[in-house]
């Protein structure tokens, strides 16, 4: 930063997208100022992916132990949430301290500016009473915050968001989860597996409503098997808290409100573009997301990456976009962002992985669609695996082009099985070539071969 407070690039928000961009630009020799209001690393390592996956790993172990009697003998397991909470503090978040992430960033040559950044016209950011000018431009990577639905009474209660759930030192005895999307189903399963009585309230007619119907049905069956009460097509009418318990009246309950010790709101996320001053760069502050071109440019001298672009709220999307923005800022040519083969995995047990279009999305685009769906336990590996082998592979083919445009792989390691399908959709490998390759026996992914044979 020169004496006039000028740098080459300012990055606002240092979550996975912003931290990658700031570090890579600094390593390329640019003078980079990274502005962060909270913790360097963002939502994913402290309150999102990493701690939730540590919880899930622990919950899955408990469930696996529960399968021992059917296959291997006896196992006596005593769940202890303290181990999970301890690991999240000790290993994942360092007690919600970003020292290691700051060192990682500054060792690459970027400077950290603590505070809340706001655009103040082209290539200019204010942080408190300080103004930073950017010679090349600004990267917006400020992420999103939880969306709190306008349910009467809700905002006046001490509801939880994902942040409170990740920080929970003690397991609540009971919990209502508002929202049956990715956060809702993952956390409902974990909390239930540790002994919490969980109810999920989902407004759509199925869980994971953005995914294939089969995925929602599997998630519902799985949660039910873990003792979770799932209400779909249910609207919360109002929420109260009496100092001890929450009560939630829903459209599905005639006999009175649901009661629980905690209420977790997992009803999607919102970008707050007004707070970022995007109107000073000619953008709409009321928009749901920052629109960009394929090189992640939002305006002259302004790039945007990550959740606030609305192209998929996933860490891998934010880093993918950041790589493109970095190339563009450095003047290096490269392909536009391509979301055709966007992969995502819901880390329930069984995992539910998906890539590209669902059958419905493909039909809505006017494609002539063929699908193939096979359950995992129709494979030798699924049958050998026994309890815990629920899952399926579903393929969506653009029949005119003879390529897969979408796929779902659910089951044990469903997120890993997804990789081959991700390559097939991304590289547009012809279906007839996929049908004539060799699939290892006995793997879960042999169900892909069977589903290819079932395309109709």
Ligand X SMILES: NC(=O)c1ccc[n+]([C@@H]2O[C@H](COP(=O)([O-])OP(=O)(O)OC[C@H]3O[C@@H](n4cnc5c(N)ncnc54)[C@H](O)[C@@H]3O)[C@@H](O)[C@H]2O)c1
Q: Which residues are known binding-site members for NAD(+)?
A: 179-186, 202, 268
Mind giving me the DSSP string for 131-188?
EEEEEEEEEE----EE-----TTGGGS--B-HHHHHH-SS--SEEEEE--SHHHHHHH
Residue 189 binding target from ligand FAD, ligand X, none, CB below 5 to 8 Å by type:
none
Cα torsion through 24, 120, 310, 147, rounded to 10? 120
Give the Cα separation of 234 and 230 in Å (integer): 10
Smaller CB separation from ligand FAD, 11 or 424: 11
Q: How far is the CB of 269 from ligand FAD (least distance, A)?
A: 7
Q: Is 401 left (phi over 0), alpha (psi -120 to 50) or beta?
A: alpha
Residues annotated within the binding site for FAD are 53, 117, 307
Residue 43 binding target from ligand FAD, ligand X, none, CB below 5 to 8 Å by type:
ligand FAD
Residue 203 binding target from ligand X, ligand FAD, none, CB below 5 to 8 Å by type:
ligand X
| Chain center to CA of 45 | 12
Give me the helix-helix angle, 182-193 and 49-66, nearest 10°: 50
Q: How far is the CB of 183 from ligand X (least distance, A)?
A: 3
Q: How far is the CB of 175 from ligand X (least distance, A)?
A: 15
Smaller CB separation from ligand X, 48 or 382: 48
Closest residue to ligand X in the complex (CB): 181
Q: How far is the CB of 374 from ligand FAD (least distance, A)?
A: 26
Smaller CB separation from ligand X, 32 or 154: 154
Smaller CB separation from ligand FAD, 146 or 216: 146
Q: Which of 325, 322, 329 is nearest to 20 (CA)?
A: 322
Give me the helix-helix angle, 16-27 and 99-106, nearest 10°: 30
Residue 17 binding target from ligand FAD, ligand X, none, CB below 5 to 8 Å by type:
ligand FAD
Residue 209 binding target from ligand FAD, ligand X, none, CB below 5 to 8 Å by type:
ligand X
Q: How far is the CB of 420 from ligand X (least distance, A)?
A: 19
Q: How far is the CB of 84 from ligand X (least distance, A)?
A: 17
Rg over alpha carbons for the chain, rounded to the nearest Å, is 23
Smaller CB separation from ligand FAD, 325 or 362: 325
Q: Which of 256, 258, 261 is nearest to 245 (CA)?
A: 261
Q: Which of 37, 35, 45, 33 is nearest to 4 (CA)?
A: 33
Residue 299 binding target from ligand FAD, ligand X, none, CB below 5 to 8 Å by type:
none
Q: Site residues (CB under 6 A) for ligand FAD?
A: 12-18, 35-39, 42-44, 48-49, 52-53, 116-117, 141-144, 162, 183, 276, 306-307, 313-316, 318, 347
Burial class of residue 245, CB neighbours in 10 A (0-12, 13-18, 19+): middle
Smaller CB separation from ligand FAD, 116 or 241: 116
In a 13 Å sphere around the CA of 395, the CA atoms on its Cβ side amount to 29
Q: Site residues (CB under 6 A) for ligand X?
A: 149, 151, 178-184, 186, 201-204, 209, 235-236, 266-269, 313-314, 344-347
């Amino acid at each position: 930063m020169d004496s006039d407070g000028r740098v080459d690039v300012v990055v606002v928000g240092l979550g996975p997208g912003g931290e990658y961009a700031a570090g890579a630009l600094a390593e390329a020799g640019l003078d980079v100022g990274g502005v962060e209001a909270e913790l360097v690393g963002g939502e994913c390592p402290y309150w999102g992916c990493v701690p939730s996956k540590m919880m899930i790993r622990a919950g899955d172990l408990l469930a696996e132990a529960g399968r021992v009697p059917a296959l291997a003998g006896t196992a006596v397991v005593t769940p202890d949430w303290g181990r999970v909470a301890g690991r999240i503090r000790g290993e994942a978040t360092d007690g919600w301290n970003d020292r290691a992430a700051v060192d990682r960033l500054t060792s690459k040559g970027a400077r950290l500016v603590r505070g809340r950044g706001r655009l103040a016209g082209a290539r200019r950011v204010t942080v408190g009473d300080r103004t930073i000018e950017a010679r090349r431009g600004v990267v917006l990577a400020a992420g999103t915050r939880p969306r709190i639905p306008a349910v009467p009474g809700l905002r006046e209660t001490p509801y939880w968001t994902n942040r409170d759930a990740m920080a929970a030192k003690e397991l609540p005895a009971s919990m209502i989860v508002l929202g049956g999307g990715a956060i809702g189903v993952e956390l409902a399963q974990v909390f239930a597996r540790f002994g919490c009585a969980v109810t999920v309230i989902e407004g759509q007619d199925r869980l994971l409503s953005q995914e294939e119907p089969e995925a929602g049905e599997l998630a519902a069956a799985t949660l039910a098997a873990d003792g979770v009460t799932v209400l779909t097509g249910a609207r919360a009418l109002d929420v109260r808290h009496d100092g001890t318990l929450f009560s939630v009246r829903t459209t599905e309950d005639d006999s009175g409100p649901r009661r629980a010790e905690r209420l977790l709101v997992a009803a999607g996320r919102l970008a707050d573009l007004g707070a970022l001053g995007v109107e000073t760069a000619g953008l709409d502050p009321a928009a749901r997301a920052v629109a960009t071109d394929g090189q992640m440019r939002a305006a002259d001298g302004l790039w945007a990456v990550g959740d606030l672009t609305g192209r998929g709220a996933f860490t891998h999307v934010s880093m993918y976009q950041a790589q493109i923005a970095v190339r563009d800022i450095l003047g290096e040519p490269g392909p536009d962002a391509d979301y055709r083969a966007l992969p995502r995995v819901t880390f329930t047990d069984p995992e539910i992985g998906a890539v590209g279009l669902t059958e419905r999305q493909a039909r809505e685009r006017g494609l002539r669609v063929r699908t193939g769906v096979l359950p995992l336990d129709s494979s030798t590996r699924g049958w050998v695996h026994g309890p815990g082998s629920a899952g399926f592979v579903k393929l969506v083919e653009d029949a005119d082009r003879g390529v897969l445009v979408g796929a779902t792989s659910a089951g044990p390691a469903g997120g890993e099985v997804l990789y081959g399908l991700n390559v097939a959709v991304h590289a547009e490998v012809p279906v007839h070539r996929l049908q004539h390759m060799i699939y290892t026996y006995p793997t879960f992914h042999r169900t892909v071969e069977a589903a290819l044979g079932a395309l109709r």
